[in-house]
Structure 1
Amino acid sequence: MKFSKLPLLLIGFGSLIYAQNQKYTMAEAVNGLRSNLAVKSVSQFSWTDDAKAYIQGTRNAYLITEMQGMKADTLVSLYQLNKNLSTEQKLKAFPPIRFTDKNKGYFTRNGKYYRIEKSGSDWKISDWAALEDGAENVQVLQDQKTLVFTVKNNLYVHRNGKTVAITDDANANIVNGQSVHRNEFGISGGIFAAPNSSKIAFYRMDESMVNDYPVIDWSVTPAKNTNIKYPMAGGKSHQVTLGVYDVNSGKKSFLNIEGDPEQYLTAVTWSPDSKHIFVGILNRDQNHLQMNQYDAATGNLVKTLFEEKSDKYVEPQHPLLFFPGSNTDFIWQSQRTGYNHLFHYHLDKGLVAQITKGDWLVTDVLGFNEKKKEIYYASTQQSPLERHLYKVNWNSFRTQKLTSAPGMHTGILSKDGSQLYDVYSNATTPRSVNVINTHTLASKNILTAENPLKNYKRPEIKNVNLKADDGTPLYGKLILPTDFDPAKKYPVIVYLYNGPHLQLITNSFPESGNLWYEYMAQNGYVIFSMDGRGSSNRGLKFEQAVFRNMGETEMNDQLKGVDYLKSLPYVDAQNMGIHGWSYGGFMTTSFMLKHPEVFKAGVAGGPVIDWNMYEIMYTERYMDSPQNNPEGYKKANLLDKVQNLKGKLLMIHGTQDDVVVWQHSVNFLKAAVDNGVQLDYFVYPGHAHNVVGKDRVHLMQQVTDYFNQHLKQQ
């Protein structure tokens, strides 16, 4: 009897070993973190107005948790909603509810908007609005009565049961109320409602002068063409104005904005008293910004508040942020010192003070605590590889760090600034969710997620610190094969992007950054990834190192990574591959042609091949115009370099790509044929710039098979 437990112990030990030796399927490696391997999270978090409780969604209910005792209770359930609905109306799944306070809210279903309101222990549902078919870009105004939306190219307002057309442009090339300038300059929409809901400002974009570009739908026979407007570098750009609609009178006017019709209108902001509109006017060369104040009633210019100039580019990315309770004082985020920081301005006095300073950048402003005169923000102050949350007093500039655990933190601040919802992950923490009292800094944990990868055979990962030619630190990650044997030699895959507005290397979960990397490590590969100069969140000097010369500085930095890899005794330098998408596809193709001896195989997805064919706003910021920088464009153009290809190159493109249009890789194919160069090529019909969903599994299987075919010893 004494030894009867031994077999059970052995079985248990064997199960543990097996459990920690699972390998990813390709589907798990590609989509697992969004499906069966998803890290548990808090859903649809919001603070109540008084910050005494928070609301979160579950599958069949919303819960409300009181901060004092952390006691959770059901706020509203699916059962309670369905009690008041007919059999035909009953909800099968809980719709996302937007709570306007803890007793009221609204939700949308099949294009219809419904209000909900607590009545005793029950909830009443009432019809609010049925929008036009095809309604998009819907905004609910502050008064909770008015909805603004677009249908095709026109703008509409719904109020008191009636829908009124704000614009009625029959010309489809004139677009109202939608995002402009191809979502550059932090632009994410085209409707700007006044705080008091009395007026609606909106973008009006005339694209009639921009060339049509065909995007073919191959899913029907015969195939169907849809023309889009795609302004290419050096060509004609669209022209944007800013309209103002008075909801009460029904009158519409336009701001009297002077200057080049092709200039960019950015950072659109209402004054808190709804009397003025502020617009950042950026010239097409993107090196001169004027922040102008306009009278919302007359449309006339009041004055220019300030200007920013650069010998390279100015890139506004945020609207003005007014201090609570003030119509005169606001925060402007600017990179003028080399890093994105907060500047305090007054409408009459001008610049009051620079609030944050240092060789690091503010990545997000979370809000204010008006009573204590504090601003809350996220920044790279601790490390470029991490984000932490801080508060700063806008008078004394005293700064305090609010988060201590290493990693990538994001936050949601309560309306009064007294409570902070903090979510973070790091290399060993899948997700931790805490609420922080911003006065005492006492923290309460509301979720510590289990590691969904705990049963998988995971690789060792090393942080790599290298230096660029000018001594700039470069951060990367090296992922070793599972069952690593330092006496063996392994093939290598370098994954890169290395373009503006993206950072690959951070202290977050999973530590690898991508489960496909871990899948490849399970299958005998070393994986290396590094952010070179030109990529994001390291300041202007780091980003602007590529100015007018894309593809050169970045490759020099990535070659430092290659030298590092070659110095490792277990790296098979004869069997190295490279892979990237979009800017990474441009980099991959550039490497295969400009340094053809380095990589044996490459896979370039959605690659920019010729910057003359990429969009004006992005390209001319980093490359200047083709007319002013012909040498830079020529050097970056890959069409006349195809004859240099020595290794194996697979090029992939989505046929519906409206970002890097399909013609980039089609022209490259033609150049390969003209030069007698063999090239592997694959398209994904129906996919735009990225291949997503179940088809992404097919994509990554194809990428994997290509590297297996060409990098593994047969």
Structure 2
Amino acid sequence: MRHLAAVFCFLMTSLVFCQEKQITLQDIWSGTFRTEGMQALHSMENGNQYSVLNFDRQSRTSTIDIYDYKTLEKVKTLVSSTDISEIQGFFDYSFNADESKIILTTKSQPVFRRSTLGEYYIYDIASKDVTKVSDDLVQEPTLSPDGTKVAYGFENNLFVKDLKSGNVEQLTTDGEKNKIINGITDWVYEEEFSFVRAFDWNADSNQIAFIRFDESEVPEFSMDVYGSDLYQTQHVFKYPKAGEANSIVSLHLYDLDSKKLTELSVTKDYVDFYIPRLEWTNDTNVLSVQFMNRHQNELDLWMIDTKAKTSKIVLAEKDKAYIDVTFNLTFLKDNSFIWTSELDGFNHVYHYSKEGKLINQVTKGNWEVTDYYGFNEKANTIYYQSTENGSINRDVYSIQLSGKNKKRLTEKVGTNSASFSADFTYFINTFSSAATPQEYTLYSSKSGKVVKQIKDNDQLAKKLEGYVMSEKEFSTISVNGNDLNMWTIKPKDFDPNKTYPLFMYQYSGPGSQQVANRWNSTNDYWYQMLAQQGYIVVCIDGRGTGFKGADFKKLTQNELGKYEVEDQIEAAKQLGKRDYIDAERIGIWGWSYGGFMSSNALFKGNDVFKMAIAVAPVTSWRFYDSIYTERYMTTPQENPTGYDENSPINHVDKLKGDFLLIHGTGDDNVHVQNTMRMVEALIQADKQFEWMIYPDKNHGIYGGNTRLHLYKKMTDFIHRTLGDKL
């Protein structure tokens, strides 16, 4: 009996211990809370199957496996790295249009945020032949629709390899580093227009259209790379800051039949403009191109007939602030097209004829279309994601092209996103909420009914039951005349009769969202750790953030950092009045735009905030790139007060609290110049502060032990400045 009692006590003690397990920084950054997903999901053209990239860690084998939508059973392995003697493995893949060939990525090294140099092989599914694209590391290899050729960029020029003969044809010859780029975007296009491949095959695989970037007059930026050698090296690249010269862009066509290279022109005389998108229509000789003025408040959609050598504007949009460029342009069989726009004040779907005449506004309402999934020609139905169920949630919908018979296809409240089968019979829904990790479920697109569960993260959910975890509470707070979305994480043993320090997080950039009903990011586990240590953590999306209409989002135009900062300061004041929050211990932090904001909040709200952490912050918009900054601020020459009155570098004299400034010296996005100039301003204002520099680390500040070190640094600073009474 005594033995059983001892066992019982041991089990109870173990149970209590498990239930009280504390989250540590080592847990967070060692991958303890990593979620399972579906890698490189691709819907096969037959509509009945999908492919997934699988990797066996024990055998180090990569496979592309085919699964049946109905049964979710594996049908076959399409290709395995063990069957290809030329390669050891691959970590990404892409098909050509008819799915007869696959590009396999075997090696890759980053250039900037989205661009890479890589080693690629082409696998012929029928013959099982393998062809290396190039012995050099190349960019953006893209198979022609008929699968006979592959185009790619190398050393700023474009090349095409014939897969039958092996012959390589060089399409351009004037490419030169930091001068001319053909078919691959420059730094600022890649970062702010979100694409790297600036060339496109036509449907007949005999024409390639591309953008040429002449960056000769763009000012250079240089960064020391310290490395481990005796002498540092320099990374020098073209970076147009606000108000400075951009690349001169032009549009070109290479005809593979005639071997002729020509420049394509339009009939409108543009000055200092952008070409943010190009895409061939279903007509093999008609190319669609989007032109945008430098202020980015005018967007023209052109159709260029490369055979008839004619061009015409089919759609011209103007906005009092700016227009967001998307990837949603979709051509139907008759070359009418789907377009998304904020014309009525919210982002919605529109249908236009091929001549640009409005046929129908498909979706309407005081909510936002947040993703466009495609058009089912057979059912005459569009599929999209929206905020119709609240701005912090996402659901998947279907609607007829006429705008009738709208149907909600997902049922759980949270964040739903879809990957449709090629014929739109099925979709794989990824669902998560603040309380539920990612679930992958097969749905019928017609009925919206669940067909089968595919994968979940129940093991992670079960693991987390053993940790001290608090609920993420969603609410709104009335600030400066607006109901702002907010989440709150309180200590698990929260007592309303006690007082707690408040730690605020925000990003706040135009059109962004941090208050969303979705599963934890890595930072959420950090906030949970801080909550278990006695802090209340809050996040508020202020004016200028997204998914609540164009007026709310674009209110900050020409004055970045004014209204957003006012909202964070006022929100902190209101929260400080709550009985359980210690108004003398309120801190704020952010990264990038959020670091710009946290710096401003501490300086301008010096009677509210006791401390702030700014990671990789913009300290003056004069230091940031042209496309992003001018979209919201126009140029410094046109709007000097907008730039200077709200930049934290000009308010350092107001600093009273504790300030931690962090940056990586290899940040090609928000240059360490921002921090160095801030440091000098603080010194000259005789203000004490703390700072940390991470050698050669980019905007993400990661690699090896870096992230763990960074979060230890920040956690220690929080404890020293806010946690003195804990």
The answer, yes or no, to whether TM exceeds 0.5 is: yes
1:186–1:316 contact (8 Å) kept in structure 2: no
- Asked whether 1:263 is paired with 2:270, we answer no
Partner of 1:516: 526
Which sections of structure 2, spanning at least 5 residues, go unmatched?
Answer: 57-62, 108-118
CA shift at 1:378, angstroms? 0.9
- Asked whether 1:193 is paired with 2:201, we answer yes
The number of equivalent residue pairs is 695
- Asked whether 1:167 is paired with 2:156, we answer no
1:57–1:63 contact (8 Å) kept in structure 2: yes
Structure 2 Cα separation of the partners of residues 294 and 561 of structure 1: 51
CA shift at 1:695, angstroms? 0.8
Partner of 2:631: 621
Structure 1 Cα separation of the partners of residues 242 and 356 of structure 2: 39
- What TM-score do the two structures reach when normalised by structure 1? 0.92
Look up the equivalent residue of 2:206 and give its one-letter code.
Answer: S
Partner of 1:353: 360
Q: 1:304 to 1:132 in 2, by over 3 A?
A: same
CA shift at 1:516, angstroms? 1.0
- Asked whether 1:604 is paired with 2:614, we answer yes
- Asked whether 1:330 is paired with 2:337, we answer yes
Partner of 1:107: 104
Partner of 1:212: 220
Partner of 2:59: none
CA shift at 1:273, angstroms? 1.8
Partner of 1:571: 581
SS in 1 for 2:526: helix
- Asked whether 1:284 is paired with 2:294, we answer yes
Look up the equivalent residue of 2:320 and give its one-letter code.
Answer: D
The partner residue of 2:68 within 48, 66, 69 is 66
Structure 1 Cα separation of the partners of residues 667 and 120 of structure 2: 32
- Asked whether 1:246 is paired with 2:255, we answer yes
Look up the equivalent residue of 1:178 and give its one-letter code.
Answer: I
| Cα distance per residue 1:118-163 (max 9 Å; x no partner) | 6xxxxx6422233141212222232223222112222211123122
Look up the equivalent residue of 1:221 and give its one-letter code.
Answer: L
- Asked whether 1:373 is paired with 2:376, we answer no
2:50–2:421 contact (8 Å) kept in structure 1: no
Q: 1:454 to 1:247 in 2, by over 3 A?
A: farther
| Cα distance per residue 1:286-318 (max 9 Å; x no partner) | 2222222112246x4421112111222223223
Deviates more, 1:581-590 or 1:223-232: 223-232
Structure 1 Cα separation of the partners of residues 103 and 8 of structure 2: 55
1:381–1:388 contact (8 Å) kept in structure 2: yes
CA shift at 1:398, angstroms? 2.2
Q: 1:255 to 1:479 in 2, by over 3 A?
A: same
Partner of 1:660: 670
Matches within 5 A, 1:529-544: 529-544=539-554
- Asked whether 1:702 is paired with 2:710, we answer no
- Asked whether 1:475 is paired with 2:485, we answer yes
Partner of 1:233: 242
1:425–1:432 contact (8 Å) kept in structure 2: yes
Partner of 2:501: 491
CA shift at 1:477, angstroms? 1.0
Partner of 2:562: 552
CA shift at 1:589, angstroms? 0.9
Partner of 1:362: 369
Matches within 5 A, 1:587-598: 587-598=597-608
Deviates more, 1:285-294 or 1:572-581: 285-294
Q: 1:292 to 1:105 in 2, by over 3 A?
A: closer
Q: 1:349 to 1:501 in 2, by over 3 A?
A: closer
SS in 1 for 2:372: strand
Partner of 1:121: none
CA shift at 1:245, angstroms? 1.4
Matches within 5 A, 1:639-658: 639-658=649-668
Which sections of structure 1, spanning at least 5 residues, go unmatched?
Answer: 119-123
Structure 2 Cα separation of the partners of residues 365 and 201 of structure 1: 25
Structure 2 Cα separation of the partners of residues 261 and 645 of structure 1: 43
CA shift at 1:63, angstroms? 4.3
Look up the equivalent residue of 2:691 and give its one-letter code.
Answer: Y
Structure 2 Cα separation of the partners of residues 643 and 364 of structure 1: 44
- Asked whether 1:386 is paired with 2:399, we answer no
Structure 1 Cα separation of the partners of residues 574 and 230 of structure 2: 52
CA shift at 1:503, angstroms? 1.0
Look up the equivalent residue of 1:225 and give its one-letter code.
Answer: Q
Partner of 1:466: 477
SS in 2 for 1:37: coil
| Cα distance per residue 1:359-385 (max 9 Å; x no partner) | 111111112221110111111111111
Q: 1:557 to 1:128 in 2, by over 3 A?
A: same
CA shift at 1:209, angstroms? 1.1
Look up the equivalent residue of 1:117 and give its one-letter code.
Answer: I
Q: 1:6 to 1:188 in 2, by over 3 A?
A: farther
CA shift at 1:529, angstroms? 0.7
Q: 1:67 to 1:582 in 2, by over 3 A?
A: closer
Q: 1:11 to 1:511 in 2, by over 3 A?
A: farther
Structure 2 Cα separation of the partners of residues 99 and 265 of structure 1: 27
Structure 2 Cα separation of the partners of residues 28 and 537 of structure 1: 33
Structure 2 Cα separation of the partners of residues 437 and 249 of structure 1: 48
Partner of 2:441: 434
Look up the equivalent residue of 1:566 and give its one-letter code.
Answer: G
- Asked whether 1:45 is paired with 2:45, we answer no
Partner of 1:158: 161
The partner residue of 1:395 within 384, 402, 405 is 402
Structure 2 Cα separation of the partners of residues 312 and 362 of structure 1: 20
SS in 1 for 2:41: strand
SS in 1 for 2:418: strand
Partner of 1:176: 182
Structure 1 Cα separation of the partners of residues 724 and 34 of structure 2: 35
SS in 2 for 1:58: strand
Q: 1:667 to 1:350 in 2, by over 3 A?
A: same
1:427–1:511 contact (8 Å) kept in structure 2: no
Structure 2 Cα separation of the partners of residues 106 and 233 of structure 1: 38
- What TM-score do the two structures reach when normalised by structure 2? 0.91
CA shift at 1:66, angstroms? 3.0
User: Which structure 1 residue ranges, 4+ long, deviate > 6 Å from structure 2?
Assistant: 100-104
Look up the equivalent residue of 2:394 and give its one-letter code.
Answer: R
CA shift at 1:527, angstroms? 0.8
2:183–2:211 contact (8 Å) kept in structure 1: yes
- Percent sequence identity is 29
Deviates more, 1:396-405 or 1:370-379: 396-405
SS in 1 for 2:587: strand
Structure 1 Cα separation of the partners of residues 156 and 473 of structure 2: 51
1:39–1:430 contact (8 Å) kept in structure 2: yes
CA shift at 1:559, angstroms? 2.5
Look up the equivalent residue of 1:51 and give its one-letter code.
Answer: G
- Asked whether 1:139 is paired with 2:142, we answer yes
Deviates more, 1:66-75 or 1:676-685: 66-75
Q: 1:69 to 1:209 in 2, by over 3 A?
A: closer
CA shift at 1:539, angstroms? 2.2
Structure 2 Cα separation of the partners of residues 66 and 263 of structure 1: 47
| Cα distance per residue 1:485-518 (max 9 Å; x no partner) | 3333222211111112421111111299611111
| Cα distance per residue 1:90-125 (max 9 Å; x no partner) | 73x56545466788645243424141536xxxxx64
Q: 1:478 to 1:564 in 2, by over 3 A?
A: farther
2:663–2:694 contact (8 Å) kept in structure 1: yes
Structure 2 Cα separation of the partners of residues 333 and 205 of structure 1: 27
SS in 1 for 2:601: helix
Q: 1:4 to 1:678 in 2, by over 3 A?
A: closer
Structure 2 Cα separation of the partners of residues 364 and 689 of structure 1: 27
CA shift at 1:254, angstroms? 1.6
1:114–1:125 contact (8 Å) kept in structure 2: no
